[in-house]
Amino acid sequence: MDNRGDVCRRWMYSAGENSAVWQLMFTGNGRITGQKRNRKERRSLFFSIDELSGQVLFDDYLLLDQATQQPIGESWFTGMETVSEQFVFLHAWQQNSPEHIGLWAIDPDNGSVEWARRDVVCCGMLDEGLLVYIPSVFAGFPERSYLIIDPLTGIELRRPDNDTGAINALRSAMRPETFRQNIILPDTVVEGSAEYGLIREREPYVSAHCECIVSGPLVAAAFHEFDERSGLWRSLLRIWWDMDICYEDILAERSERPAVSSFLLRTGVLYYIRNETELIALDV
C-alpha cells in the first residue's frame, strides 16, 4: 500500500472471519451503522461505529423478536431500510417474496430497539415522517393502506389519500438516500466520458471495468482486472489529488468477482471495503 500526501487513514473496522461488509448507512448524529453477512453460518449481523473516532459502539448484533427472543428473518433475511437523525431502521422480508416487511427502530449508540412495527412496509422517508403501508388481501386481491408514522415513536401521524395520484406525489417528494446521507457513490467509467479523460491524464491504462468518484481536485478510481488464466479478478483503488497519486490499496485479489461498489465519499472522508471484511476510513 502506498500512502502519501494529505490522505491518511482515520480508522479501520474488521467484520471478522467469514463475514462480509454488506451495507452501510449514516445517521444524522454521527454514527455509521453497517450490515455484515456471514454466508457460512447464514447470519445477518449489524454493527455501529462512531464516524469520527472509529469506536465500535456495538457489533455482531442479531435482530431478535422482543417477545420470543427468536431471530427475525431466520437470522438471515434482514437488512437496513433507512435512517433518521437518531435511528437506523431495520427490516425483514415477506415470506417467499422480494418485498420487505416490518420496521425496527434501532438506537445506533447501543443497539436498543426503540420501537417496532411488524405490520408495515416502508416506502421511504418524508420530511414529515415515514411513509409506510399495511398490506392486506380483500376478495383475493392485494390491497395497501398507506400511513405516515413518526420516526421517533412509530405512532401514526396521519393517513394520506389512498389514491394512486396522492401516493405517487408523496413518493416523488422523497429525496434519494444518497442525498439524505450526503453520500457520493462511484460512477462506471465509460470510454469517451469526462471521467475517462480525467483518469487517462493520470493513468496511461484504464481497465475496461473501472469506477470513479470526482470531487474537486480529488479523483478516486477502482480498477477491476480479470485474469483469463486463473478466471479470477483483481481490484485496485487509486486516489489522486490534482495530478499526484496520494494513496493506493488493493480492494481484492484473486477474487471470484470484481469488488464493485466498494468505496464512497462523504463529507471529506472516503470509505472503502477491502477483502470484503475490512471497512477503512480515509481523510481526504
pLDDT in tens, 65-106: 988 999 999 999 999 999 999 999 999 998 888 899 999 999
Q: In the 8-state DSSP scheme, what is residue 136?
A: E
Read off the C-alpha cell for 139. 376478495
Alpha carbon 267 to its chain centroid, in Å, reads 16
Which residues of the chain are modeled with pLDDT < 70?
Answer: 1-5
Q: What is the predicted pLDDT for the residue at 95?
A: 85
Site of grid cell 469506536: 55
Determine contact, residues 133/117, Cβ cutoff 8 Å. no
Whole-angstrom distance between the N-terminal and C-terminal Cα of the chain?
A: 16
Q: What is the predicted pLDDT for the residue at 76?
A: 96
Tell me the pairing of strands 56-61 and 269-274: unpaired
pTM comes to 0.93
Determine contact, residues 154/115, Cβ cutoff 8 Å. yes
109's torsion region: left (phi>0), alpha (psi -120 to 50) or beta?
Answer: alpha
Determine contact, residues 279/15, Cβ cutoff 8 Å. yes
Alpha carbon 110 to its chain centroid, in Å, reads 20
Q: What is the predicted pLDDT for the residue at 36?
A: 97
Q: What is the predicted pLDDT for the residue at 4?
A: 43
Beta-bridged to residue 100, according to DSSP, are: 93
Determine contact, residues 147/161, Cβ cutoff 8 Å. no
Q: In the 8-state DSSP scheme, what is residue 74?
A: G
